[in-house]
Amino acid sequence: MELTARNILRRHGLVMAFLLFLAVVALNAEAFLTPGNILDVLRQVSITGMMALGVTFVVLTGRLDLSVGSMLTLLTVIVVDQHNVAGPFPAIVMTILAGLAIGAVNGLLVGFAGLNALIVTLAMLSFLQGLVLFYSGGSNVNVANAQDTWFAVFGRGDFLGIPVPVILFLVGAVIAGLILQVTTFGRRIYGVGGNETASIFSGIDARRTVFWAYVISGFTTGVAAVIMGSRVMGAQNTIGQGYELTVLAGVILGGTSLLGGSGSIWRTVVGISMLGFIQNGLLLLGFPYYVQWLVTWAVIIIAVWIDLAAKRGRILA
């Protein structure tokens, strides 16, 4: 009985701690579990959530993508700037194409060139941040005539009382989940992450699979940039700074293994949502904003420890 209780605590300790946190915040902040606050939190996490959908594909292959924060910055600057130059629809198309191109470069370097994913994406993070400053000239950009454009619907709109960003996030999650669960490509993603050598001997092109995982990550970050630009109706040169850690923390918190081959889109949705409610709860309790980063650090460390312990057999599957 004691062993069973210990296993339950290890396997579900984070969820139990989260539920306890929800109870504590709800008792001390009446607004926490109100429909309005819940929708506000979901609206906020829709951006990181959309990015996390693509990063989940990458992590499932046993790789990392730490470039998504700077990618979000660059793509948000592009969509806002090109909105003023060419209009909203061309700006959205250019932003998505730019995201696909950046993802393809990461995929080529990691998948086909065989370079280390951590090094490649860290280098891309630095390169993209420099490219942002070059593109914008160091100046922030804002949507001109913000009251006269339909572009705001992606970040500020509502449909049947549900924020449009939340709808986009959930639709993206459904599509991504179906890709992983019912397609051959999804099975290849799990195969490469679970045992890349065995997958290659089984006829799977691991390099191509990794390449397309990064392309998907670039695409979802492009969609997130459209939502971000539409919500803020502008872009700063550091608007995506730190998002890579938040996204990765949400993916790990959801139970996707950093070693690859284990996890799912719905776990990522839950993980990102949990992180969003934790951050919101801390603010409602009066903690300074920087405490969120300390909590994010703790979440990453604890979740990675649990994941590695499970992989090594210290936690019963």
Model confidence pLDDT, tens digit, residues 177-199: 999 999 999 999 999 999 999 99
Q: What is the pLDDT of residue 313?
A: 58
Tell me how far apart the alpha carbons of residues 295 and 260 are, in angstroms, rounded to a whole number.
24
Burial 39-53 (b: 16+ CB within 10 A, else e): eebbbbbbbbbbbbb
Q: Are 245 and 121 in contact (CB under 8 A)?
A: no
Q: What is the pLDDT of residue 17?
A: 73
Average pLDDT, integer, range 225-245:
91
Average pLDDT, integer, range 248-261:
87
Average pLDDT, integer, range 53-62:
96
H/E stretch holding 139: none
Q: Where are the alpha helices (DSSP H) in the chain?
A: 2-28, 35-60, 68-86, 88-107, 117-136, 153-156, 164-182, 184-194, 196-201, 206-232, 243-253, 265-284, 291-311
Average pLDDT, integer, range 56-72:
96
- Please give the radius of gyration of the chain, using alpha carbons only, rounded to the nearest integer: 20
Q: How confident is the model at residue 2 (pLDDT cuts 50, 70, 90)?
A: very low
Q: What is the pLDDT of residue 317?
A: 44
CA-CA-CA-CA dihedral for 47, 294, 269, 194, to nearest 10 = 120
Q: Is residue 276 predicted with pLDDT exceeding 80?
A: yes
Tell me how far apart the alpha carbons of residues 164 and 305 are, in angstroms, rounded to a whole number.
36
**Diameter of the chain by CA atoms?**
67
Q: DSSP character for 147? A: G
Angle, CA of 2, 305 and 298, to the nearest 5°: 110
Classify burial at 187, counting beta carbons within 10 Å of its beta carbon; exposed 0-12, middle 13-18, buried 19 or more.
middle
Max mean pLDDT range (200-209, 253-262, 284-293): 200-209
Give the residue with greater pLDDT, 291 vs 112. Answer: 112
Classify burial at 305, counting beta carbons within 10 Å of its beta carbon; exposed 0-12, middle 13-18, buried 19 or more.
exposed
Window from 2-11, 63-72, 180-189, 205-214 with minimum mean pLDDT: 2-11
Residues 138-167: pLDDT tens digits? 888 888 887 888 999 999 999 988 999 999
Q: Are 311 and 304 in contact (CB under 8 A)?
A: no
What is the reported pTM? 0.90
Centre a 10 Å sphere on the Cβ of residue 121 and count the other Cβ atoms it contains. Answer: 25
Centre a 10 Å sphere on the Cβ of residue 228 and count the other Cβ atoms it contains. Answer: 29
Window from 16-30, 35-49, 143-157, 216-230 with minimum mean pLDDT: 16-30
Q: What is the pLDDT of residue 8?
A: 56
